[in-house]
Amino acid sequence: MILKNISLLYGNELKLINSTNVQISNNKFKKINSQITRKSDNVIDCENLLLVPGFINGHTHIGDSIAKDLSLNSDVDSKIHPMIGLKQKILRETPDKELIRFMRKSAQTMLKKGITTFVDFREGGIHGINLLKKALNDVPINVVILGRLEYYHTPKQIKQNTSMPDFLQNDLELLLENCDGVGISGPNENSDKNLRVFSKIKKIVGIHAAETLNSYAVSKRMTKKTEPKRALLADPTFLVHMTNASKSDLLSASKKTRGIIVCPRANASLAEGIPDIELMLKMKCSIGIGTDNVMINSPDMFREMDYLWKTTMGIKKKRIDPKQILKMATVNPGRILKKKIGCIKENYFADCIFIDKKSIDLEPMHNVYASIVHRASHESIRGVMNRGKIVYGKI
């Protein structure tokens, strides 16, 4: 396939190229230049289209898609705590076929909104992983599944630094054979010894940290250490949230992880604050964006970017380059995951969004990055491509 006369955002810096040709072969971008003229390929004239990397939703829990806006005014722990939260009760008591049906709906709406890859923290052990795989069986979207053992330590066990039982370490090995890594609930449910078990994993490791002021305080009260400092014992690939992290925590994260996935609308929905991306950037953290639990937030990266950009500028009273925000939804999480996604570049997977430059909400696009971050929506999308195939819309 050759996309002719198309505008695009190229490479790691999302450089705007106003008109070029793109050859797609074997699921990837093969060539990007204006001289491609092979007649044997399917050629599509894309003169009024802008090609943008497919969005990467860096953190989700779509298992609770059936529980949208339940217990809206409850505190964080009563909603989503991994041991006592309403979410866990719902996951236990809802029939599998219903969980599958609503997870499929969430995946379909993500695809419609330009999300070509999402990273899911999947509860329920191997059974939970298999439910998600069934839900995605007929949905052409990419997923990074981070499984979880339903094993949590009490505060007493954390103070005693209780070890993970041998049989559970065997279960962890089996779990990892069925997914891409582990998604850990947080340091406050794991002893130091438990966290160090996760540090030996060769696959992706993600862990929540400093999501709430209360969880941060609990960690210091139990262990005399900050929650992010203990999270780093797991040698994680990335940290999630860090909304209430200190400057010292962020500096450590920048040195010891590949990045941080922030979930600004979910944090705001829980009345827990807004992640300080200005400070994160100063500490040289690589930042990605996630939409978190479907129970409390819609999986829409357009809305997430818009919210993060404007709330940060409103709070800090400083301008932020919208390109920085767009990179958090594309290039940065691709790097954090070490996958050839989130970037339009030769030999990267052809996962991308076709934006209609003549869209009623966008024309004229004087600043393409600002237009995508705070004016575009799913209605601006002409088509979505995954691995070189149009999977939504038509171009």
Query: What's the rounded Cα separation, in Å, for the pair 19 and 33?
Result: 9
For the segment 10-22, what is each residue's pLDDT rounded down to a tens digit? 999 999 999 999 9
Query: What's the rounded Cα separation, in Å, for the pair 318 and 142?
Result: 36
The topology under which CATH files domain 55-337 is: TIM Barrel (3.20.20)
Q: Could you give the percent of the chain with pLDDT greater than 70?
A: 97
Model confidence band, residue 367 (pLDDT cutoffs 50, 70, 90): very high
Say whether pLDDT at 85 is over 80.
no
The position carrying tokens 């005399």 is 224
pLDDT, average across residues 57-75: 87
Say whether pLDDT at 79 is over 70.
no
On average, the pLDDT of the chain sits at: 95
pLDDT, average across residues 327-354: 98
Provide the token pair at 106: 């969430």
pLDDT of the residue at 124: 92
**What are the DSSP E strand ranges found in 74-216?**
115-122, 142-147, 181-184, 204-209
Say whether pLDDT at 90 is over 90.
no
Q: Give me the DSSP letters along 95-109.
A: -HHHHHHHHHHHHHH
- Do 371 and 56 form a contact (C-beta atoms < 8 A)? no
Model confidence band, residue 94 (pLDDT cutoffs 50, 70, 90): confident
What ranges do the domains of the chain cover? 2-54+342-393, 55-337
pLDDT of the residue at 80: 72
Say whether pLDDT at 37 is over 80.
no
Say whether pLDDT at 144 is over 90.
yes
55-337: same fold as 2-54+342-393?
no
For the segment 157-209, what is each residue's pLDDT rounded down to a tens digit? 999 999 999 999 999 999 999 999 999 999 999 999 999 999 999 999 999 99
Which residues are 289's β-sheet partners?
A: 262
Model confidence band, residue 78 (pLDDT cutoffs 50, 70, 90): low
- Do 393 and 381 form a contact (C-beta atoms < 8 A)? yes
pLDDT of the residue at 83: 63
pLDDT, average across residues 328-340: 98
pLDDT of the residue at 306: 98
Query: Which stretch of 34-38, 217-221, 253-257, 388-392 has the lowest confidence by average pLDDT?
Result: 34-38
The superfamily CATH assigns to domain 2-54+342-393 is: Urease, subunit C, domain 1 (2.30.40.10)
For the segment 275-295, what is each residue's pLDDT rounded down to a tens digit? 999 999 999 999 999 999 999
| Phi/psi at 104 (5° precision) | -60, -40
Q: Please choose, from the candidates 274, 223, 230, the residue with its C-alpha nearest in 3D space to the C-alpha of residue 253.
A: 230
pLDDT of the residue at 39: 66
